[in-house]
């Protein structure tokens, strides 16, 4: 399984494959069916820490199934979305870019 991350780059969002440690954390979170915020550390550098939690699509005004989306928050409070569904996260990214650009 490949996991993708949506990041803010040059004033617009892009979707890229995650780093190995992010993919591993995503797989652990999904496999264990966690529902609360869980903290992770990068195995190669414990100063890199982040949390994963379920993306609350209803709270954000979205309909549909977003069970494969997680919200990642870094130690710098940067927020990124992760999903193993490339088509869905790219569609979400396009929607967010259009809304943020006022299109």
- Mean pLDDT, range 12-41, rounded to an integer: 95
Q: Going along the chain, which residue ranges are E strands? A: 4-9, 12-17, 38-42, 45-54, 69-74, 79-83
Closest CA to 52 of 33, 43, 67, 39: 39
Residue 52 has what DSSP assignment?
E
Residue 54 CA to residue 16 CA, distance in Å, equals 20
Q: What value does the CA radius of gyration of the chain take, rounded to a whole number of Å?
A: 13
Sole residue written with tokens 């652990």: 28
Dihedral over Cα of 45, 2, 26, 96: its sign:
positive
Q: Domain ranges for the chain, please list them.
A: 4-100
Report whether pLDDT(103) > 70: no
Residues above pLDDT 90, as percent of the chain: 71
Q: Specify the pLDDT at position 101.
A: 76
* pTM, rounded to two decimals: 0.89
- What percent of the chain shows pLDDT beyond 70? 99
pLDDT tens column, 27-77: 999 999 998 999 999 988 888 999 999 998 888 778 888 899 999 999 999
């Amino acid at each position: 399984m490949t996991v993708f991350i949506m990041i803010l780059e040059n004033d617009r969002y892009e979707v890229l494959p995650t780093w190995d440690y992010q993919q591993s954390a995503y797989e652990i979170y999904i496999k264990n069916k966690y529902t609360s915020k869980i903290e992770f550390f990068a195995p190669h550098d414990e100063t890199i820490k982040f949390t994963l939690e379920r993306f609350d699509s209803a709270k954000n005004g979205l309909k549909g199934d977003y069970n494969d989306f997680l919200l990642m928050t870094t130690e710098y409070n940067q927020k990124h979305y992760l999903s193993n569904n490339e088509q869905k996260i790219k569609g979400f990214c396009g929607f967010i870019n259009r809304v943020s650009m006022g299109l």
